[in-house]
């Protein structure tokens, strides 16, 4: 069986989690790169040896040398400093921009056609940077944010209503930050709109918990940020691309007029298949959601404007 090769840059918690999940599936080979060669090699060896216990013949290799990434179909960028308690995503901008720029240049040298999934925060700005530096068409570069935000939204709904995840239809769009937009008007539990099951006060509580979901985990961990849910979010995106599932998932993508948004990467519903971003899906928003989306757009625009002042594109 021909396995798909995936590069993961950054052997921290998120990168290692993605590598581990992919390797256990047995359908992927993984090249994990980190500035700390021993960290990447150590984690890759541990994952490789775990594969023996589940019968996976996936190859997992770790190094600080990008030559091991040659021929990758997908490159996942997790490298960067993590958000610390009290730190806004925007505070990460300059340091992570320099890291991501260098990473993309290296990926481009060895796998110029690889589809790029950006995880490094602030993800909308880092995705924009990856697009500009890589020179790839816009359908081949995207950021992971909305998939994770949607998972958190669904968790809080499930906790409140005590229902199966399989009965929840929900989505979160917008910038991957405090201004994200849970789409209440199109959230259904079974065939019932959520507003028929919960009061506005209860719904607002869920929205706020969703928007603060990442910060809550950061405050609890104290020395890092979330990685299990972000890792699985990336795997969900990879599988939709590799297996041409054409799932409708919220991802950060280049906007050229969709939803009235231009020249920024922003979280919107997309059809994700073998060609990457195959379509940006327009969904109907109510007046409150439109207002929230507008605020989120302005927040992302200001971050990207700052990025352009800090980094030469």
User: Is there a contact between 74 and 238 (Cβ–Cβ < 8 Å)?
Assistant: yes
Distance of CA 211 to the CA centre of its chain: 15
Contacts of 62 by beta carbon, 8 Å cutoff, 6+ apart: 11, 31, 32, 33, 34, 37, 39, 40, 41, 42, 43, 44, 45, 68
- For CA atoms 78, 79, 82, 87, the dihedral sign is negative
Q: How far apart, in whole angstroms, are the C-alpha atoms of residue 58 and residue 37?
A: 20
265: annotated active-site residue: no
Structure tokens at 36: 């700390």
Out of 89, 132, 176, 301, pick the active-site residue.
176
Q: Which residue has the tokens 């499930």?
A: 158
* Catalytic positions, written as ranges: 176
């Amino acid at each position: 069986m021909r396995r798909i090769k995936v590069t993961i840059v950054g052997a921290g918690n998120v990168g290692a989690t993605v590598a581990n999940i992919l390797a256990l599936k047995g359908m992927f080979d993984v090249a994990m790169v980190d500035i700390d060669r021993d960290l990447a090699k150590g984690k890759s060896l541990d994952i490789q040896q775990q594969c023996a216990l589940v019968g996976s013949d996936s190859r997992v290799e770790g190094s600080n040398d990008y030559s091991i990434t040659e021929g990758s179909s997908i490159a996942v960028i997790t490298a960067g400093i993590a958000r610390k308690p009290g730190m806004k995503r925007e505070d990460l901008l300059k340091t992570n921009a320099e890291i991501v720029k260098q990473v993309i240049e290296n990926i481009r040298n060895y796998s110029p056609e690889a589809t790029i999934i950006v995880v490094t925060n602030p993800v909308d700005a880092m995705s924009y940077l990856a697009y500009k530096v890589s020179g790839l068409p816009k359908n081949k570069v995207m950021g992971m944010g909305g998939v994770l935000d949607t998972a958190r939204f669904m968790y809080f709904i499930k906790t409140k209503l005590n229902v199966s995840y399989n009965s929840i239809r929900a989505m979160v769009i917008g910038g991957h930050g405090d201004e994200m937009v849970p789409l209440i008007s199109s959230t259904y539990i079974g065939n019932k709109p959520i507003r028929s099951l919960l009061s506005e006060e209860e719904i607002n509580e869920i929205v706020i918990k969703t928007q603060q979901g990442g910060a809550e985990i950061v405050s609890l961990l104290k020395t890092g940020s979330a990685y299990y849910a972000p890792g699985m979010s990336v795997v969900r995106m990879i599988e939709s691309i590799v297996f041409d599932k054409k799932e409708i998932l919220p991802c950060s993508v280049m906007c050229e007029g969709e939803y009235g948004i231009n020249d920024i990467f922003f979280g919107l519903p997309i059809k994700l298949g073998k060609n990457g971003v195959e379509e940006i899906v327009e969904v109907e928003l109510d007046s409150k959601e439109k207002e929230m989306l507008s605020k989120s757009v302005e927040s992302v625009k200001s971050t990207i404007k700052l990025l352009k002042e800090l980094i030469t594109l």
